[in-house]
């Protein structure tokens, strides 16, 4: 499911968004800078400062993760089931990965997401005939003008 192409895409993006369900049934959206493709059907992210996300996942382990390239306006949506881990061989291996990658913040736990559904996200601008280069140029100009 998580191909090498998707893995490469994810490694190039530095921000994704995690959606969980609050106890009152409302959505909770949280930005995350540590989302990785752990294997062909599992994502992971570090709980550095995510109290509401962790609280929500303990009550309802349904989760969605979105990772979008802000310039090309393309990306992926992953729906799945989360598991919070705080020890063990897999935990230590993932923590080691983050340390090697340069994560300096203390990590309280790791969230593993077993991906059940994945969909590509593509901006409607492509439906109008815009090319990747045109869309990238448009958003580069926008961000540079801020």
CB 47 within 8 Å of CB 80: no
What residues pair up with 17 in beta bridges, in sequence order?
Answer: 31, 66
Chain-centre distance for alpha carbon 135: 22
Q: Encode pLDDT of 129-142 as tens digits.
A: 999 999 999 999 99
User: DSSP strand E in 59-132: where?
Assistant: 62-69, 74-85, 109-122
What residues pair up with 114 in beta bridges, in sequence order?
Answer: 42, 81
- 42 to 25, 78, 117, 146: CA distances (angstroms): 25, 10, 11, 37
Q: CATH number of the domain at 4-144, out of 3.30.540.10, 2.40.420.20, 2.30.110.10, 3.20.20.140?
A: 2.30.110.10
Q: Encode pLDDT of 56-115 as tens digits.
A: 999 999 999 999 999 999 999 999 999 999 999 999 999 999 999 999 999 999 999 999
């Amino acid at each position: 499911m998580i191909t090498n192409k998707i893995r490469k895409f994810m490694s190039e993006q530095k921000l994704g968004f995690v959606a969980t369900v609050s106890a009152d049934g409302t959505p909770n959206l949280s930005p995350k800078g540590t989302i990785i493709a752990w294997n062909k059907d599992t994502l992971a992210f570090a709980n550095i400062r995510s109290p509401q996300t962790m609280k929500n996942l303990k009550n309802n382990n349904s989760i969605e993760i979105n990772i979008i390239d802000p310039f090309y306006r393309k990306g992926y949506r992953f729906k799945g089931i989360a598991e919070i881990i705080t020890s063990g061989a897999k935990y230590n291996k993932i923590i080691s990965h983050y340390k090697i990658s340069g994560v300096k913040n203390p990590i309280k736990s790791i969230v593993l997401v077993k991906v059940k559904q994945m969909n590509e996200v593509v901006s409607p601008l492509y439906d109008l005939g815009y090319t990747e280069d045109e869309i990238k140029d448009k958003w580069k100009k926008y961000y540079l003008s801020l």
